[in-house]
Amino acid sequence: MLTQIRLLTKLQTLNLFGINEFRHTKDAKKKHRYVAMAAVWVLLTVMLVAYIALLSNGLIKIGLGEIVPEYLFTVTSLLILFFSILKAGSVIFQMRTYESLISLPVSKTAIVTSRFIGMYVTNLLLSLFVMLPGIVLYGIWMQPDIGFYVFSVLGTAFLPLLPITVATILGAFITAISSRMRRKNLVNIVLTLLLVIAIMILSTGSGSLMEDLDGESLRNLSAVLSNQIHRLYPPAVWFSNSVIQGSLPSFLLFFGVSTALFLVMVFAVQRNFTAICTALNATTAKNNYKLRELQSSSPVAALLRRELKRYFASSIYVTNTIIGYILMAVASVALFFMGPSQLETSLGYPGLISRAFPLFLAAIGAMTTPTSCTISMEGRQWWIAKTIPVRSKDIFDSKILLALAVALPEYLIAVVFGLLAIKPSFMGALWIVAIPAVYIVFAAVAGIAVNLAMPVFNWDNEIRAVKQSASVVVTMLVSLTGFLPPIVLLLTNDNVSADLVMPVAFLVIASVTAILYSRNNKKKILYIG
């Protein structure tokens, strides 16, 4: 049994990161692609570690060092919960790979256990990258005893268990509800997005705490923040008591509760795995098909309908690519109810919203786009698109139009509420409308260019194409390089006029978009009949 679990976990992990293909492929281009992907992930990891180090160092410098361990613990738990909810159902309860494995001489228990271990390993890496910089800096500046390091390392090792347990239960619950409804994919998508947004609001809900602190509270800021964290995530109390105070009972309570709940959940899934998968993946068919009048349309329109069907057929695809657009709308609605002046006061940047709001909207909306993985989502059916008698341009246009169609409702909400909240001049209103639009189009076109260069077709699980492919990460970095310079310029130089930055940013991004669009359309990847 243990040998089977070890081999299956090793195989799953190697396939997850593409290590097996890198080791055994003879294709030099694929090897170069994996090297580039590794470089991108290293860069992102360095950026994450640097950010956590700066955050921890800042808290320590202002006298809030005692909350660093529990604060990072809570943030890491919320991140794991956020990302695990989006993939728990498709990783744990995926039937396609289970059906291929169950025919082999391996037990069902080994298959299920290896899936949970694989999920734990990926989340453990995230925990290490977030927790270790804070632990190291805390140790350097606060000089705790040896118990701090022991409990911190052990606590970080067991940190993912409870979030994974909750995420798996919630993911299965959402899938169970949606599977009994006619539009189960749509219901699954809506419930998942609502849950994810609720988690994000919960994680940022304490951000307004500083606005209401009086002088006495400021002098006891560490205790105030600690109480907020404890209310948000009670296990942080146990972790904090063990690492800061060296409390063995608190650590045993944290370890016992996390491990017990995780093992109970794993055991329950193992015992009922086939029944759960059958219920969650059940489909219904009707025999009331009626032949009606056939209609013809242009190639782009037909391909767009095909893209829309594929898009909304995958909850993983939707929830991971639409979240940026939704947050763009949520940000504008929140600004409308909160008021620009109150937000500027809390941030300490008077006039910030009126100067840079269009770029903030653009930054949120351009961070995720369906085109960053739309070609990879073709999977092993890519040969069909390569052989149908249509132009490459038609294929790419349909995928870009998909991204724009998905973004349009959220964009309109963001623009309307942004205009109502800020009440800008004519030029200010023009940039609120134009800047987010041009950046959304830029991200969609850039996503096609990047995904063409870094496609992933041999995936067994959509998560690899949607969440773990290099094209998704690189597209985000490309978008970042597009909106970061003008935002930094406006934030760091009060003498620079927004009426100068906005048109320059618009013209530069529009020009780059036109160039990328033209280059994409010149790529002859399809057979022309």
Amino acid at 8: L
Based on the fold, state whether residues 267 and 400 are members of the same structural domain.
Answer: no
Question: For 289-299, what is each residue's pLDDT tens digit?
Answer: 666 676 767 88
Residue 527 lies in a domain: no
Torsion region of 468: left, alpha or beta (phi above 0 gives left; psi -120 to 50 gives alpha): alpha
Based on the fold, state whether residues 90 and 44 are members of the same structural domain.
Answer: yes
Residue 293 lies in a domain: no
Structural domain including 493 reads 299-521
Question: For 336-365, what is each residue's pLDDT tens digit?
Answer: 988 888 777 665 667 778 788 999 999 999
Number of domains observed in the structure of the chain:
2
Question: For 170-206, what is each residue's pLDDT tens digit?
Answer: 877 766 666 655 565 666 667 667 766 666 665 555 4
Residue 427 lies in a domain: yes
Based on the fold, state whether residues 398 and 249 are members of the same structural domain.
Answer: no
Residue 203: the pLDDT is 53
Mean pLDDT for the stretch of residues 228-248: 85
Mean pLDDT for the stretch of residues 387-407: 90
Residue 320: the pLDDT is 84
Based on the fold, state whether residues 233 and 340 are members of the same structural domain.
Answer: no
pLDDT band at residue 528 using 50, 70 and 90 as cut-offs: very low
Based on the fold, state whether residues 268 and 319 are members of the same structural domain.
Answer: no
Rounded distance between C-alpha atoms, residue 295 and residue 303, angstroms: 14
Based on the fold, state whether residues 53 and 172 are members of the same structural domain.
Answer: yes
The three-state secondary structure class of 528 is coil
Based on the fold, state whether residues 177 and 268 are members of the same structural domain.
Answer: yes
Amino acid at 265: M
Q: Which residues contact 444 (CB under 8 A, 6 or more apart)?
A: 369, 370, 371, 400, 403, 404, 407
Mean pLDDT for the stretch of residues 98-107: 74
Question: For 13-65, what is each residue's pLDDT tens digit?
Answer: 777 667 777 787 887 877 877 787 788 778 878 888 988 898 888 888 878 78
Q: What count of Cα atoms within 13 Å lies in the side-chain half-sphere of residue 42?
A: 6
Q: Which two tokens stand for residue 169?
A: 């239960």
Based on the fold, state whether residues 276 and 306 are members of the same structural domain.
Answer: no
Residue 124 lies in a domain: yes
Q: Is the pLDDT of residue 426 over 70?
A: yes
Residue 215 lies in a domain: no
Based on the fold, state whether residues 408 and 473 are members of the same structural domain.
Answer: yes
Rounded distance between C-alpha atoms, residue 340 and residue 413, angstroms: 17
Based on the fold, state whether residues 87 and 173 are members of the same structural domain.
Answer: yes
Q: Which two tokens stand for residue 424?
A: 């800008």
Q: How far is CA 335 from the centre of its chain?
A: 23
Q: Which two tokens stand for residue 402?
A: 């998909």
Please report where in the chains the tokens 């329950």 appear, as a residue: 268
Please list, residue by residue across 87-105, b when 16 or more beta carbons sit within 10 angstroms of its beta carbon and e when fewer do: bbbbbbbbeeebeeeeeee
Query: CB–CB of 342/383 below 8 Å?
Result: no
Amino acid at 428: G
Query: CB–CB of 185/89 below 8 Å?
Result: no
Higher pLDDT, 278 or 496: 496
Residue 528 lies in a domain: no
Radius of gyration, CA atoms only, the chain:
25
Residue 288 lies in a domain: no
DSSP string, 206-259: GGGGGGG--HHHHHTHHHHHHHHHHHH-THHHHHHHHHHH--HHHHHHHHHHHH
Rounded distance between C-alpha atoms, residue 325 and residue 368, angstroms: 8
Lowest-confidence range among 9-18, 170-179, 382-391, 396-405? Answer: 170-179
Based on the fold, state whether residues 265 and 325 are members of the same structural domain.
Answer: no
Based on the fold, state whether residues 158 and 303 are members of the same structural domain.
Answer: no
Q: Is the pLDDT of residue 213 over 60?
A: no
Residue 96: the pLDDT is 65
Residue 513 lies in a domain: yes
Amino acid at 31: K
Rounded distance between C-alpha atoms, residue 85 and residue 77, angstroms: 12
